[in-house]
Amino acid sequence: MQLGMIGLGRMGANIVRRIVAAGHTAVGCERHVEVIDDLTTELGGRFRGSTDLVEFVAELDTPRVVWVMIPAGLTGATVDQLARLLEPGDIVIDGGNSRYHDDIARAAQLAPLGIHYLDIGTSGGVYGRERGFCLMIGGAAEPVRYVEPLLRAIAPGVSAAPRTPGRTGEPGPAEQGYLHCGPAGSGHFVKMVHNGIEYGAMAAYAEGFNILHKADYGNRAGGEYSAEETPLEHPEYYRYDIDIGEVAEVWRRGSVVASWLLDLTAAQLRADPNLDSFGGRISDSGEGRWTLDAAVDIGVPAPVLSAALFQRFASRGESAYADKALSAMREAFGGHHELPGQE
Amino acid sequence: MQLGMIGLGRMGANIVRRIVAAGHTAVGCERHVEVIDDLTTELGGRFRGSTDLVEFVAELDTPRVVWVMIPAGLTGATVDQLARLLEPGDIVIDGGNSRYHDDIARAAQLAPLGIHYLDIGTSGGVYGRERGFCLMIGGAAEPVRYVEPLLRAIAPGVSAAPRTPGRTGEPGPAEQGYLHCGPAGSGHFVKMVHNGIEYGAMAAYAEGFNILHKADYGNRAGGEYSAEETPLEHPEYYRYDIDIGEVAEVWRRGSVVASWLLDLTAAQLRADPNLDSFGGRISDSGEGRWTLDAAVDIGVPAPVLSAALFQRFASRGESAYADKALSAMREAFGGHHELPGQE
Amino acid sequence: MQLGMIGLGRMGANIVRRIVAAGHTAVGCERHVEVIDDLTTELGGRFRGSTDLVEFVAELDTPRVVWVMIPAGLTGATVDQLARLLEPGDIVIDGGNSRYHDDIARAAQLAPLGIHYLDIGTSGGVYGRERGFCLMIGGAAEPVRYVEPLLRAIAPGVSAAPRTPGRTGEPGPAEQGYLHCGPAGSGHFVKMVHNGIEYGAMAAYAEGFNILHKADYGNRAGGEYSAEETPLEHPEYYRYDIDIGEVAEVWRRGSVVASWLLDLTAAQLRADPNLDSFGGRISDSGEGRWTLDAAVDIGVPAPVLSAALFQRFASRGESAYADKALSAMREAFGGHHELPGQE
Amino acid sequence: MQLGMIGLGRMGANIVRRIVAAGHTAVGCERHVEVIDDLTTELGGRFRGSTDLVEFVAELDTPRVVWVMIPAGLTGATVDQLARLLEPGDIVIDGGNSRYHDDIARAAQLAPLGIHYLDIGTSGGVYGRERGFCLMIGGAAEPVRYVEPLLRAIAPGVSAAPRTPGRTGEPGPAEQGYLHCGPAGSGHFVKMVHNGIEYGAMAAYAEGFNILHKADYGNRAGGEYSAEETPLEHPEYYRYDIDIGEVAEVWRRGSVVASWLLDLTAAQLRADPNLDSFGGRISDSGEGRWTLDAAVDIGVPAPVLSAALFQRFASRGESAYADKALSAMREAFGGHHELPGQE
């Protein structure tokens, strides 16, 4: 079977590699010609590419399967172009980080043209090539069924995890690592919530590590008292010098918090035990915000997911004005002047 | 009636001033002799003081009323000294920011000696002199009754606020601004929760002001898209240049969020419209932490109070290690390198 | 001057009453004829009304000032009708709880017709009649200037609060209780953030009161130990029986948390000391959600405002599925079966 | 080598089973004689037990290794008894859920007697028997070294997870699944933080699942508008009927949130797709609370861990009074009466 891939960045290229490794072929579209050349060399006769969208479309067998894997802000324009170039029965897949609202609009835009639209939330990051990608799919049943051989090639496969107790017989799609979640938008909706959870779980680890990191505070704290600062009541309880990299390692086996995120963290702490190479400004790429928007819309409490998101904002300095306002209030009612910048 | 005051800092001196203004007399104990001299000059014959505790105690009429108003870390040693100097029937008052646990211990320590102990949580800050202090009192009924003339002089009095609907007849103590809350420790317990609420309410304003402050973000945001950053979907919704000082002012009259904290904030914003004189490192003085400890002990959800406390910690850089851990994880699974330090 | 008011519910009628009390006249539009009749009787010759919008418009002096004060979901249709009935130079005011997005759209819709549009966020609730309403106004400068006599009649006036230090001379609009915040939508934007803060401040009090409420937990807790339950380490610290109504009362005078919300709470606790008449299902009326949406859009941390909102969701049972999921996980890894429904 | 185990509940018995399976022997102490009998039968000659502590101690080879695995509230009394029965060189291990404060005290209590004390935080739950237990150890180096053969038998071993990149050569203890974290108390300290993280990560999943669960809200919501309720602005965005069990399954392979907790959740959802067998009252067993206490003591922000803890409190009805207070305030300023108990 053949996959057309628009965008041969890290994710797009790795999906193509898995497709080819599974015995399928791929055609790429990408404005950097050297990326195409490199991939052509790497994958031999099973891949070819073009820098031109019209040429790319012409290369594809019908019904065409066109996977769009580009920054979310550019996807709309590309879908518009595809709407003009494709034919009834063709399938457009958005595998990027689009907001699911856009999927609903795009599916409705393409439907009158007879073009199918699938939104496929794709998780796996840089490890996806070897580990496989987890695929969350929204759209109609027919095109999902049609591309299933490709999905199976991209997904991790059932052997990637022990089977869940109670699941027997022929493994279903979810056990292979891909799931048709529902109609248009549902794939990116589920992926969005996935990322919301990811933010929350990451923050849980980060806060815990921060507590371990400061477990020696009883040694550091001075013994002086003032009306402004709370002395540590029991410094003897905080005299631990914890090796956080070793803790992350030991938790990987047998503990309740064992996870892939922890595996990665253990590797990072192995390579950089004090995390000195990181500045701690944390980007957020949309899904965490949209998850919170959804929670607010439908009235679901999300205290953990929101706390995780807000910590990211604050890591980029976005609490500064609020902090100044608090200082101003404290000075006003208490005559509390700020202390100089000691930690 | 006579009040003995140990500690003539801002709070102690202002309490003495209210006592004297109400026609009582006061004796002070304070190691800075010039503070005593100044207050003696200011208050004429109704105040005298000493730098020596023994001398101070000797000056007091019996039964002695000794109000201790010093940093919480020093109160214990002073109470120990008083235990040796005072006589049965004397009354020790801790008006500082002690943890209520200590009150329970100190009341038990003094009881066998026949010395009464009252813990009086005292709110009012630098405005207390004119506005009066709100007094939350823990201890036995008898000494509370004995010192009531002093409490009435220190508290704001019923005219400080309109009477609550349903309260008629002779105003009770709470309407005067002082309240016997219960046995030893209950005064500081109620004051502790008061400060916990204060942190939460302050943070509510600060967050709101921060949103107003950034309401012009649609003008500031660039138009570029990347896989790392979320473009603002509707920049047209964020093109407001709000005068926050004027907003604080207008909310003071007729709005649901009118409060004394808002009055103070309006004054600060009037004096420094951009809050440029504040760095935004926010101290915390114990009560907010203890409130959270209490909530955890007795199993009461306190998401707002804890968020307010944690924002203070974070304002002092205490999220740094957690933020680095998050950056490390993001790099690991997504190959996301941190962006350079733009805002 | 004359005000046209569409919607004579609690808020609309009280605004009309203040307008009339200030010497202006008013015309009302309201589908319940008995409401119009009652108000006509009450206000004598200075008010008349109609159940018909066309008739109502015909009654108004030009340029017409039409204040729409109806549920937000109905405002759009009414503005559409007004667009057909009004003339260039007329002024439409939305004083309800519309989302500011809609104001931007409506101002743009009416501008080509020469009709002015003002959004006026109106705070004050049931007390507004006597206390005056706090008005936050968005729109162009010219119509704001035109309706200023009406705004002054509706707003509380400068005497409603002591003047802020540093404010001298002729009091400005903010000191009167109304503020032109900026272009279309800014009035409801500022009102939205106001309500966000309101939710946060309310939650701060509610959490604090909850801690006081359970301060007797050391008396209630059993002495039994199990692997599932944490025994209270120090029951002796939680043996207080706090009179919460008295605490609310004492905090009204001299304390840092004195506020109008606290005044109201003290009155409610006076009338119903155990709050037995309340079930604790808390509605939310949009602004708290929209505040959070805005914070997320522009990347401002809002942990307190979000916690307050989520508590409202949870009060309506919306955590139930999450709680079940947690129970399911605990059973899975720990064999922890849920305890029967004791508190 | 020989292990003495006090307490043959689920955890204690499974540790004994792993010890025996590894070729060591064990002696048990347990008041339920039938438990001893069953285990004796099951394990043949490699296990024997007693209901009497004196007899149990007499059975042990010296230096004795006594692992105490009983509810935390009972551990102190048992350690006191052991202090009287054991001899210099013997080793007491607390493998239960003690607070690490107690470990510091117990190690200090036993040190003058020449008895070693180790605190071993033990994670793994009901799966520990097959999966091995993750062991976090506090105490002196010498006794840790002595019991290492036993630790290796109890821990999962290096094969339980792929080796972390950068870790080569002979696997260290952390890679085996046990870690000497530091002096007395550090084992339970690290275990405590582990559980704090566990609470946070669990809540992240639970909130995400709750959002998926309500993703059909656009179908459910009525179309009516009132001043009290916010209509759903875009019901078309919430018309998904997500199969949450399938989502949990698909995330197990290739996604960023793959974890052991997710594995367990997938199994629970397989067995009970709507989680109907759970009531959603969530216990908390101390460590989550103590983690928060530690964060507060040392000034580390923990918004996620605290939100997770408070959700548990709230699931047991502990927000009720706060909710009533909020309803009371809303009624006071807005005349908002509570809606009847619809969801």
C-alpha neighbours within 13 Å on the C-beta side of residue A76: 9
A222-235 CB burial, b ≥16 within 10 A, e <16: eeeeebbbbebeeb
Q: What is the pLDDT of residues A290-321, one digit of tens each?
A: 999 999 999 999 999 999 999 999 999 999 99
* Cβ contact C306–A303 (<8 Å): yes
Is B249 annotated in the active site? no
* Cβ contact D299–B318 (<8 Å): yes
- Say whether D210 sits in a helix, a strand or coil: helix
ipTM of this predicted complex?
Answer: 0.95
If one compares C80 and C228, the residue with the highest pLDDT of the two is C80
Q: Give the H/E segment covering residue C188.
A: helix C186-213
What confidence score (pLDDT) does residue C320 get? 97
Q: What angle do CA B102, B103, B108 make, to 5 degrees?
A: 100
Q: Per the residue annotation, which of D30, D175, D191, D287 is the catalytic one?
A: D191
Q: How many Å lie between the alpha carbon of A125 and the closest alpha carbon of chain D?
A: 8
Q: Give the H/E segment covering residue A28.
A: strand A25-29
D302-320 CB burial, b ≥16 within 10 A, e <16: bbbbbbbbbbbbbbbebbb
Q: What is the pLDDT of residues B55-84, one digit of tens each?
A: 999 999 999 999 999 988 899 999 999 999
Local confidence band at B341 (pLDDT 50, 70, 90 cut-offs): very low
What confidence score (pLDDT) does residue A161 get? 96
Specify the DSSP class assigned to residue C232.
Answer: P
Specify the DSSP class assigned to residue C259.
Answer: B
What confidence score (pLDDT) does residue A229 get? 52
Q: What angle do CA B147, B136, B294 make, to 5 degrees?
A: 140
Q: How many Å lie between the alpha carbon of C32 and the closest alpha carbon of chain D?
A: 17
pLDDT at B219 over 60: yes
Local confidence band at B222 (pLDDT 50, 70, 90 cut-offs): low
What confidence score (pLDDT) does residue D226 get? 45
What confidence score (pLDDT) does residue C1 get? 96
Chain D CB contacts of A217 under 8 Å are: 297-299
Q: Does B310 touch chain D (CB under 8 A)?
A: yes
Going by C-alpha positions, the residue among A288, A280, A320, A326 that lies closest to residue A307 is A288
Least CB–CB distance from A174: residue in D203, D249, D262 = D249
What radius of gyration, in Å, describes the C-alpha atoms of chain A?
25
Least CB–CB distance from B257: residue in C158, C197, C237 = C197
* Cβ contact C301–A293 (<8 Å): no
Chain D CB contacts of A273 under 8 Å are: none
Specify the DSSP class assigned to residue A260.
Answer: H
For chain D, the farthest-separated pair of C-alpha atoms sits apart, in whole angstroms, at 78
Q: How many Å lie between the alpha carbon of D294 and the closest alpha carbon of chain A?
A: 8
* CA C5/CA C29 separation, integer angstroms: 6
Least CB–CB distance from C161: residue in B189, B252, B302 = B252
Chain B CB contacts of D313 under 8 Å are: 299-301
What confidence score (pLDDT) does residue C232 get? 85
Q: What is the 3-state secondary structure (H, E, C) of C33-100?
A: HHHHHHHHHHHHHHEEEECCHHHHHHHCCCCCEEEECCCHHHHHHHHHHHHHHCCCCCEEEECCCCCH
Chains near D (3 or more Cβ pairs under 8 Å) = A, B, C
pLDDT at A222 over 80: no
* Cβ contact C233–B307 (<8 Å): no
User: Scanning every residue of chain B, which has its alpha carbon at the shortest distance from the alpha carbon of D302?
Assistant: B310
What confidence score (pLDDT) does residue B225 get? 42
The encoded tokens of residue D289 equal 């609370």
* Cβ contact C324–D230 (<8 Å): no
Q: Does A99 touch chain C (CB under 8 A)?
A: no
Q: What is the pLDDT of residues C269-301, one digit of tens each?
A: 999 999 999 999 999 889 999 999 999 999 999
Chain A CB contacts of B328 under 8 Å are: 265, 268-269, 272, 275, 278
- Say whether B29 sits in a helix, a strand or coil: strand
Q: Give the H/E segment covering residue D68.
A: strand D65-68
Q: Does B235 touch chain C (CB under 8 A)?
A: no
The encoded tokens of residue B236 equal 């047209």
Residues 124-143 of C with CB under 8 A from B: 124-125, 128, 131-136
* CA A92/CA A68 separation, integer angstroms: 7
* CA D339/CA D343 separation, integer angstroms: 10
> Is D219 within 8 Å of D137 (Cβ atoms)?
no
**Residue B290, amino acid:** W
What confidence score (pLDDT) does residue D126 get? 83
Chain D CB contacts of C281 under 8 Å are: 323, 327, 338-339, 341
For chain B, strand residue ranges (E) read 2-6, 25-29, 47-50, 65-68, 91-94, 116-123, 134-138, 178-182
Q: What is the pLDDT of residues C77-102, one digit of tens each?
A: 999 999 999 999 999 999 999 999 99
What confidence score (pLDDT) does residue A125 get? 81
* Cβ contact D307–B310 (<8 Å): no
Chain C CB contacts of D264 under 8 Å are: 329, 332-333
B284 phi and psi, to 5 degrees? Answer: -135, 140
User: Scanning every residue of chain B, which has its alpha carbon at the shortest distance from the alpha carbon of A269?
Assistant: B328
* Cβ contact B175–C253 (<8 Å): yes
* CA D144/CA D151 separation, integer angstroms: 9
What confidence score (pLDDT) does residue C342 get? 29
Q: What is the pLDDT of residues C233-263, one digit of tens each?
A: 899 999 999 999 999 999 999 999 999 999 9
What confidence score (pLDDT) does residue C338 get? 66
Write out the catalytic residue numbers of C.
Answer: 191, 198
For chain C, strand residue ranges (E) read 2-6, 25-29, 47-50, 65-68, 91-94, 116-123, 134-138, 178-182
If one compares B231 and B34, the residue with the highest pLDDT of the two is B34
* Cβ contact A315–B326 (<8 Å): yes
What confidence score (pLDDT) does residue A221 get? 57
Pairing of strands D65-68, D91-94: parallel
Q: Does D221 touch chain B (CB under 8 A)?
A: no
Chain A CB contacts of D211 under 8 Å are: 193, 196, 291, 294-295, 298, 300, 302
For the segment C207-216, the average pLDDT, to the nearest whole number, is 98
- The neighbouring-strand residues paired with B120 are B137
Q: What is the pLDDT of residues A7-52, one digit of tens each?
A: 999 999 999 999 999 999 999 999 999 999 999 999 999 999 999 9
Q: How many Å lie between the alpha carbon of D149 and the closest alpha carbon of chain A?
A: 17
User: Scanning every residue of chain B, which has its alpha carbon at the shortest distance from the alpha carbon of C160?
Assistant: B253
Q: What is the pLDDT of residues B262-274, one digit of tens each?
A: 999 999 999 999 9
pLDDT at C343 over 60: no
Chain B CB contacts of A259 under 8 Å are: none
Chains near C (3 or more Cβ pairs under 8 Å) = A, B, D
* Cβ contact B307–D311 (<8 Å): no
What confidence score (pLDDT) does residue B229 get? 52
Q: Does D315 touch chain B (CB under 8 A)?
A: no
* Cβ contact A316–C302 (<8 Å): no
Chain C CB contacts of D127 under 8 Å are: 333
* Cβ contact D264–C330 (<8 Å): no
What confidence score (pLDDT) does residue C108 get? 98
Local confidence band at B228 (pLDDT 50, 70, 90 cut-offs): very low
Chain D CB contacts of C267 under 8 Å are: 332
User: Residue for token digits 């941190």?
Assistant: B338
User: Scanning every residue of chain B, which has its alpha carbon at the shortest distance from the alpha carbon of C100?
Assistant: B237
Least CB–CB distance from A301: residue in C297, C300, C313 = C313
Q: Does A309 touch chain D (CB under 8 A)?
A: no
pLDDT at B223 over 60: no
Q: Does D325 touch chain C (CB under 8 A)?
A: yes
- The neighbouring-strand residues paired with D179 are D136
Least CB–CB distance from C260: residue in B158, B249, B259 = B259
Q: Does C304 touch chain A (CB under 8 A)?
A: no
What confidence score (pLDDT) does residue C337 get? 67
Q: What percent of chain C has pLDDT over 90?
A: 89
Q: What is the pLDDT of residues B100-126, one digit of tens each?
A: 999 999 999 999 999 999 999 999 888
- As a dihedral over the C-alpha atoms of residue A64, residue A70, residue A72, residue A74, rounded to 10 degrees, the angle is -80
Q: Which residues of chain D have pLDDT under 70?
A: 221-230, 337-343
What confidence score (pLDDT) does residue C92 get? 98
Is D87 annotated in the active site? no
User: Scanning every residue of chain D, which has its alpha carbon at the shortest distance from the alpha carbon of A206?
Assistant: D197
What confidence score (pLDDT) does residue D338 get? 67
Q: Alpha helix (H) ranges present in chain A?
A: 10-21, 33-43, 53-59, 72-85, 100-110, 128-131, 141-154, 173-176, 186-213, 217-220, 244-251, 260-271, 287-298, 303-315, 320-334
- Say whether B20 sits in a helix, a strand or coil: helix
Specify the DSSP class assigned to residue C319.
Answer: T
Q: What is the pLDDT of residues C114-159, one digit of tens each?
A: 999 999 999 988 889 999 999 999 999 999 999 999 999 999 999 9
Q: Give the H/E segment covering residue D2.
A: strand D2-6
Rounded alpha-carbon distances, angstroms, from residue C157 to C136, C172, D33, D63: 14, 10, 82, 84
